[in-house]
Amino acid sequence: MDNCVKIIRMGVDWCIGIHLSFGNKDFLVLCVYLPYECRQNKGDYLNKLAFLNSFMESCNFTSIYVVGDVNADISNVNSKFGKHQSQFCLEHKYIMSSTLMLPHDSYTYNSEAWHSTSRLDHCFSSSDAHGSLSSMNILYNLAISDHIPVSFSVKVERLPEVFVGNEGVCQSNLNWSNVTKSELRSYSIKTEEILRKVVLPNEAIGCTDPNCANMKHKVDICTFYDRIIRALIESGKPLHKVVGSSNIKLAGWNMYVAGFHEQAQVATREWAQAGMSGPDNIVEHWKQHYDALFNCICSEQMNVTVINSTESISVSACE
């Protein structure tokens, strides 16, 4: 078991990673504790979400679970942190697994002071990770504090296989006219072998509602097709011609966007510190800008007739 489990230090005191590997299958669990909801913690909360997204996008894992005290009650329409959490998952295409798999009336937090219950502890995951979940439960009988533990089970056989590429760079297009009968037969056998491991979402496929709004159905269908595509790509790898050697280093996407990503994080922090002005403030700012613009035009000693509303007006960033 020691060879299967590895602790990943994140360099922060509110998050730690646990990497579990089983042969050519693996997944990562990030255990987090995010700030409680209050106005003073808003910037810190958003920064921590940005930290998580940055790590999840740049790491080499496709199956990632984020679990713990997220301190966001997404069921409460008045919870601003809940809205931030929901928007965060929507924008970055993470799945709120706990919302989809736990009963609607369940809770993970019991406030003795206010005699109320809420769902502050969550599990959100990547698409591959969510598709491998088999169950999730709230362990009410093990509660020894205000927060109630949550458990989930992962079907390892559903996890996508991970292969380390060391044979160079494959061509993007496969020339089927150059494939021999023996290679085609091997491709067919490999494809069938991988497709057998793809779980068929019977409930989602059997849904007859043309306007179905069930989020679980949507996620299951997307995961289903994604794994079919992965199966076809994986079984076709041996048929690709290899260009170059294993010593070639390719510049990854992160190399190009790292500087811009850092600038965006700095801008986000400054925006948060400035009070995170929303659309209303922006509209008011533009109204004031145009009022000043037209007042300036009217005050000039020149014959200004009509400004067409369809004409474009260039405004610099400082304006």
Give yes or no for a contact between 94 and 88, defined as CB atoms under 8 angstroms apart: yes
| List of residues 6+ apart from 208 with CB closer than 8 A | none
Task: Provide the pLDDT for residue 318.
Answer: 45
Write out pLDDT tens, residues 1-49: 567 899 998 889 999 999 998 888 899 999 999 998 999 999 999 999 9
Give the residue-averaged pLDDT of 233-254. 59
| 126: pLDDT strictly greater than 70 | yes
The predicted model gives 251-277 an average pLDDT of: 61
> DSSP assignment of 239-255, as one string?
GSPEES-TT--PPPHHH
| Predicted pLDDT at 213 | 80
The C-alpha atoms of residue 205 and residue 309 are separated, in whole angstroms, by 50
Q: Is pLDDT of 316 > 60?
A: no
Q: Global pTM?
A: 0.54
Averaged pLDDT for residues 180-195: 88
pLDDT of the residue at 284: 60
Task: List the structure tokens of 231.
Answer: 């199966």
d(CA 183, CA 158): 26
Domain residue spans of the chain: 5-158, 169-250, 254-297
Our CA angle for 153, 156, 157, nearest 5°, is: 130
Q: CATH homologous superfamily for 5-158?
A: Endonuclease/exonuclease/phosphatase (3.60.10.10)
